[in-house]
Structure 1
Amino acid sequence: MGADAAAEFDEFYRGTVHRVVHLVYATTGDLSLAQECAQEAYARAWTQWRSVSAMRDPLAWVRTVARRLAVSQWRHHRARDRAYARHGAASAVPAPTPDRVAVLEALGRLSEPVREALALHYLADLSVEQVADETGSPVGTVKARLRRGRHQLGALLSPEDGGALPDPQEVDRG
């Protein structure tokens, strides 16, 4: 879109956004929802500005989109509330154990390809062949990454050497 269309949209936005937010706020009673829905409506208007600006009343289009988004959110929240009433809220998630924290920190120090191979193989329970297919890597490369990852995790999690491992930038990315 050209600079003229951008300037036209900017003027339209600045001149009308407060009215749309206030309308949705008045209908929902939720200011953050009103702001979110108005922003989304204007974003959609911008992507279709050629056709929206040619309408008899572009503001009516934006108001309608914002109100529909708010109703959709309201329905979503209402369905969630009904599910909570029926099944109860989700149980509290326990704090991570020190072991879990240590493993996650160690995984974060591995190169991305090695970490991805370990996660797909051990956490997603994929075979070596499936990991190779999903990552677009040869089977031999996946095997090497798994072997390297096991070795590096062992070094990081070993209490004897304090988890000394070279900087991930220095580790072979293969």
Structure 2
Amino acid sequence: MISVALTVGVPQARARESADFDEFYSASVRGLTLQLYAYLGDLSEAQDVVHEAFARAFARWKHLSGYDEPVAWVRRVAWNLATNHFRKQRNASVFLRRQRTEHIEGPDPDRVALTRALATLPANHRRAVVLHYQAQLSVAEIAAQEGVAEGTVKSWLSRGRAALAAQLRREN
């Protein structure tokens, strides 16, 4: 009998808490939104942070409803969210300033021809040529990286150079 009375009372208590929160929200949302709008300069962002603050308040309403001024708690949360918004914007701005793209000239015709010629080589010859001539690795370093004997690398380089020379002659 007691458990029936308690379970009947719980939904009524929650309904009462929900109604109290709705009243609190209605009385406070406009003023807080205007304050945050003045701070942020963006109505949409102000509405977002205020609604997020109220959502957090709703989750804690049982506790917050006992405060003298629960709106002060919601205001503090909203301002903290707005400050985080500014911090994220500043960090993004600093990052973007550092990431400015510099204008880089397109490849010259010789580079395009070389890239095309390299693409015709077998993968192991191409890797050896690129690692040796562009990455400036020694034959020993390439051999260690590729897990082959130095003589194999020398062979790849020799065959790769010969194939490149023939390919580049054909293109000219």
Query: What is the TM-score normalised by the length of structure 2?
Result: 0.50
Counterpart selection for 1:4 from 13, 16, 34:
16
Is 1:30 aligned to 2:76, yes or no? no
| Structure-2 residue corresponding to 1:49 | 61
Instruction: Give runs of ≥4 in structure 1 deviating > 2 Å.
Output: none
Unmatched runs of 5 consecutive residues or more in structure 1: 90-174
Q: Aligned AA for 2:97?
A: A
What amino acid is aligned across from residue 21 of structure 2 in structure 1? F
- Higher share of residues assigned helix: 2
Can you list the C-alpha shifts for 1:63-87, whole angstroms capped at 9, x where unaligned? 1100100000110011001100011
Separation (CA, whole Å) in 2 of partners of 1:88 and 1:64: 36
Looking at structure 2, the residues matched to 13 and 86 of structure 1 have their Cα atoms a distance apart, in angstroms, of 43
Q: Compare CA radii of gyration and give the structure with the larger one.
A: 2
**CA RMSD for the aligned pairs?**
1.2
Report the counterpart of residue 94 of structure 2 in structure 1.
82
CA distance in structure 1 between the partners assigned to 2:81 and 2:39 by the alignment: 12
The count of corresponding residues between Structure 1 and Structure 2 is: 89
Taking structure 1 as the reference length, what is the TM-score of the superposition?
A: 0.50
1:170 corresponds in structure 2 to: none
Cα shift readout 1:15-51 (whole Å, capped 9, x = no counterpart):
1100110011111111111000000000000000011
> Among residues 13, 20, 24, which one is paired with 2:32 in the alignment?
20
Q: Separation in 2 of the partners of 1:41 and 1:88?
A: 36
CA distance in 1, matches of 2:42, 2:86: 10
Task: Give the CA deviation at 1:9.
Answer: 0.2
- Rounded to whole Å, the distance in 2 between the matches of 1:56 and 1:86 is 47
CA distance in 1 between counterparts of 2:33 and 2:100 reads 33
5+ residue gaps, structure 2, are: 1-12, 102-172
Cα shift at 1:88: 2.6
Aligned to 1:40: 52
